[in-house]
Amino acid sequence: MLVQFVVEEKEQGAAQGLVVAYDASPENGTCFLAFQRFGRSVGGGEMFIGMFHFVEYVWRRWNMRKLYAEVPGYSLSHVGDGFDVMTEEARLRDFDYYDGRFWDRVFFSIDKATWEKRAEVWRPYLLEGLAPDAR
pLDDT tens digit sequence for 35-71:
988 876 555 578 888 888 999 999 999 999 999 999 9
- Per residue in 102-132, pLDDT (tens digit) is 999 999 999 999 999 888 888 887 776 554 4
Whole-model pTM? 0.83
Contact 95, 103 (CB under 8 A): yes
Class of domain 3-128: alpha beta
Query: Can you give the pLDDT at residue 18?
Result: 94
Cα–Cα distance, 132 to 52 (Å, whole number)? 14
Q: What is the DSSP string of 84-110?
A: GT-EEEEEEEEEEEETTEEEEEEEEEE
